[in-house]
Amino acid sequence: MRLARERERLCDIGRRMVETGLVLGTSGNISVRDGDLVAVSPGGVALDRLTPESCPVLDMSGQVLEGGSKPSSEVPMHLALYESTGAAAIVHTHSQNAVVVSATMSELPAIHYNVMLLGGPVRVAPYATYGTPELAGNVRAALEGRLAALMANHGAVAVGADLEQALEAARLLEWLCAVYIQARTIGEPRILSEAELAAVVERAVRG
């Protein structure tokens, strides 16, 4: 079986996404790349019910090479992001707080310095129908220089050097969205300035 280990990891990460509330029902999708091959979650299957055999393996043109199920409808977005980011894994969620922010904001501002772990304030990609080249292009632009982006009225996407890193980026984004939403319920949040964020980066570099 091609990408056997990677397909097993998709199943593990899928279960964790459901357990942590990042997806509901059959929403969301995940993929992992190894060279010119990509293993992706199948469409219409809850992520906590994946099996390695059901996860299709594609080439970078989107052609299915192996797997017993139809791949996720968001394959165009996954392939576009692999081409532009150099990532090796992608996690796409429909988590509640991310959707709320994506439906009301054009950017998630720097409510906490940990936003720098994602590359900075998180952009919201303009809305487009799921599974379309237009959506893929919008998300590709929003992710430039970032590890995560929001998708207007849709959800969130995170990338990483492996599935674990991509999942952690998605979890951090959901936490940041929750903090921002809760802060808005008691007042106007204080947003960190560019200088304050630069100081965080400088301190991290110095160790």
β-sheet bridge partners, residue 54: none
Query: What is the token pair recorded at 138?
Result: 């919008």
- The one catalytic residue in 19, 53, 66, 74 is 74
Residues 131 and 121: beta-carbon distance below 8 Å: no
d(CA 206, CA 58): 42
**Three-state SS annotation for 174-204:** HHHHHHHHHHHHHCCCCCCCHHHHHHHHHHH
- Please report, for residues 51, 92, 119, 129, the alpha-carbon distance to residue 14 in angstroms, rounded to integers and kept in the order given: 10, 11, 25, 23
- Please say if 74 is a catalytic residue: yes
Count the residues in the chain. 207
Catalytic residues: 74
